[in-house]
Amino acid sequence: MDHSATTPVAAEVLEAMLPYFSDKFGNASSLHGFGREAREALEESRQKVARLLNADPGEIVFTSGGTESDNLALRGIAYKNRNSGRHIITSQIEHPAILETCRSLEREGFTVTYLPVNREGLIELSELERTIRPDTILISIMHANNEVGTIQPLEEVGRLAADRDIYLHTDAVQTVGKIPVDVEAMGADLLSLSAHKLYGPKGVGALFIRRGTKIQSLATGGGHERNLRSGTENVAGIVGLARAADLAREEMAAEGHRLVELRDRLAELVLGRVKDAWINGSMEKRLPGSLNLGFSYVEGESLLLYLDSKGIAVSTGSACSSHKLEPSHVLLALGLRPEQCHGSLRITMGRSNNQEQVDYVADCIAEAVERFRMMSPLGRDEGRK
Ligand SMILES: *Cc1c(COP(=O)(O)O)cnc(C)c1O
């Protein structure tokens, strides 16, 4: 129940990768047969990933994952276009791979506007429009949020950006493979994705870069990936990403419906049994398997550990920030009070979940909340009313 943190490698993906760890070990830059075999696998993979995004294979650069793709997009555009302007627009609820990169760019002389979001986690387009300046070079808005699952109106953002000749990047790590992602419809110039969020291996991802985009590479070296990402390609990982992309294209529609049903069932069961509980984020514009629940008078952390003892893996906030004790920056931006943030739980379902599990999870959550409220003076008193 924590698929937004990572997903298991699909059996088909593992099977596709294995030969590239043994017989087919060639370096894709070598001219001999071993190298050509690896090069062919690499280019075939590029086509598959491009197909999932409605992009051209020549617009896909393979990276080590979402974090590197985000860094290459932001820094690459900023450094190459600094003479046209130094203003970047993003949102307050981005993944740390975006937020920390923006903070780093601020220290290097760029100016960043962090757009607020409403209670559902959506940016306001009028606010975005007001924020655009003559020196704005890049807008980076995530497609869907990893903590609450809210899906942003990227097509509208794309139109605003295109009208003004501003580059648009989107961190689509949470949407690629889950819902249709079409770089043409979005008007995105750059898009980040990561294999391990769609049943592929960890440590591999891609950045879509629209043809003609002015971007600087961050790594100097042998000039791999059209000179944008030097370093011998991770052929096995890339083959795995491509197989995962193909599987996602086949299963997306049916799996999406299934997950919406599971998610809504879980919400209904929990909210029906636990009072002083609520859903964080948007009800309509939300990822199929994502549910972020808030509970008064309990610590999400305690719930998480209790559920873990019952064999259920969930998270508070995101996997990337859960080692911190500060309330989630995403929930704070949605307008929750710090104590409300601390009582929140992120449940993200995927291929391995079924209805029986959902019913079990609902039972365990209801049990846990009741137990912890009994132990908290505030919860006990409120419960008596
Ligand atoms: C997981 C995630 C990332 C980071 O991807 P890695 O491949 O783990 O580096 C970036 N953005 C979002 C929205 C994510 O969910």
Q: Pick from 197, 199, 204 the residue to mutate for probing ligand 1's pocket: most ligand atoms within 8 Å of its CB.
A: 197
Q: Tell me the average pLDDT across 209-231.
A: 96
**Closest ligand 1 atom to 318 CA:** 15
| Atom 10 of ligand 1, nearest CA residue | 66
Instruction: Tell me, yes or no, whether 128 and 237 share the same domain.
Output: yes
Residue 319 lies in a domain: yes
Segment 81-91 mean pLDDT: 98
For residues 104 and 230, membership in a common domain is answered with: yes
Checking if the pLDDT of 321 tops 70, the result is no
Of 248, 278, 306, the last residue of a domain is 248
Q: How far is the CA of 4 from the centre of ligand 1 (A)?
A: 9
The enclosing domain of 277 has a CATH number of: 3.90.1150.10
Specify if 364 maps to a domain: yes
User: Which pLDDT belongs to residue 135?
Assistant: 98
Give domain status of residue 5, yes or no. Answer: no
Average pLDDT across the chain, whole number: 95
- Look at ligand 1, atom 8, and give the residue with the nearest C-alpha: 66
CA–centroid distance, 68 to ligand 1, in Å, is: 9
CA 197 to ligand 1 centroid distance, Å: 8
Q: How far apart are CA 159 and CA 376, in angstroms?
A: 50
Measured from the Cβ of residue 323, the count of other Cβ atoms closer than 10 Å reads: 7
Residues 192, 260: one domain?
no
Q: How far is the CA of 97 from the centre of ligand 1 (A)?
A: 7
Write down the pLDDT at residue 32. 98
Domain count, the chain: 2
Q: How far is the CA of 165 from the centre of ligand 1 (A)?
A: 27
Does 232 share its domain with 273? Answer: no
Q: Is residue 1 part of a domain?
A: no
pLDDT for 326: 82
For residue range 149-161, what is the model confidence (pLDDT) as tens digits?
A: 999 999 999 999 9
The confidence band for 312, taking pLDDT boundaries of 50, 70 and 90, is very high
Ligand 1 atom nearest residue 68's Cα? 9
Instruction: Please report which helix (H) or strand (E) contains residue 53, including its range.
Output: helix 33-53
Nearest atom (ligand 1) to Cα of 202: 7
DSSP string for 143-201: SB-TTT-BBP-HHHHHHHHHHTT-EEEEE-TTTBTTB---HHHHT-SEEEEEGGGTTS-
* Side-chain-side CA neighbours of residue 78 (13 Å): 26
Q: Which residues pair with 113 in a beta bridge?
A: 89
Looking up residue 200, the CATH number of its domain turns out to be: 3.40.640.10
Whether residue 213 sits in one domain with residue 72: yes
- Average pLDDT of the segment spanning 296-324: 84
Ligand 1-lining residues (CB < 6 angstroms): 65-67, 70, 95, 97, 142, 146, 171, 173-174, 194, 196-197, 205
Note whether residue 324 is domain-resident: yes
pLDDT in tens, 247-293: 999 999 999 999 999 999 999 999 999 999 999 999 999 999 999 99
Instruction: Judge whether 102 counts as a catalytic residue.
Output: no
**Nearest C-alpha to atom 4 of ligand 1 is from which residue?**
66
Tell me the average pLDDT across 13-27.
Answer: 97
d(CA 157, CA 222): 36
Instruction: For residue 385, name the pLDDT band (cuts at 50, 70, 90).
Output: very low
How many other CB atoms are found less than 10 A from the CB of residue 358? 22
**Which of 102, 320, 341, 364 does the annotation list as catalytic?**
320
Where does a domain end: 214, 248, 282? Answer: 248
- Which ligand 1 atom lies nearest to the CA of residue 142? 13
Question: Do 242 and 256 fall within a single domain?
Answer: no
Give a yes or no: residue 330 inside a domain: yes
The vertex-157 CA angle with 151 and 161, nearest 5°, equals 155
pLDDT tens, 40-52?
Answer: 999 999 999 999 9
Q: What atom in ligand 1 is closest to the CA of residue 194? A: 7
Best residue for ligand 1 mutational test, from 91, 95, 175 (most atoms within 8 Å of Cβ) = 95
pLDDT at 96 over 80: yes
Domain region containing 71: 11-248
pLDDT (0 to 100) of residue 378: 72
Residues 147 and 236 in one domain: yes
Whether 318 and 331 share a structural domain:
yes
Q: Please tell me whether residues 68 and 174 are part of one structural domain.
A: yes
Lowest mean pLDDT segment, chosen from 157-161, 339-343, 357-361, 381-385: 381-385
Q: How far apart are CA 61 and CA 224, in angstroms?
A: 9
Higher pLDDT, 283 or 110: 110
2 within domain boundaries: no
Same domain? 256 vs 242 = no
pLDDT given at position 201:
98
Residue nearest to atom 6 of ligand 1 (CA): 66
Among the candidates 205, 223, 248, a domain finishes at 248
Mean pLDDT within 332-345: 92
Quickly state the pLDDT bin for 380 (edges 50, 70, 90): low
**DSSP state string for 350-364:** -TT--HHHHHHHHHH
Q: Are residues 271 and 233 in the same domain?
A: no
Shortest-distance atom of ligand 1 to CA 64: 7
Counting ligand 1 atoms within 8 A of each CB, the residue from 90, 101, 173 with the most, and so the one to mutate, is 173
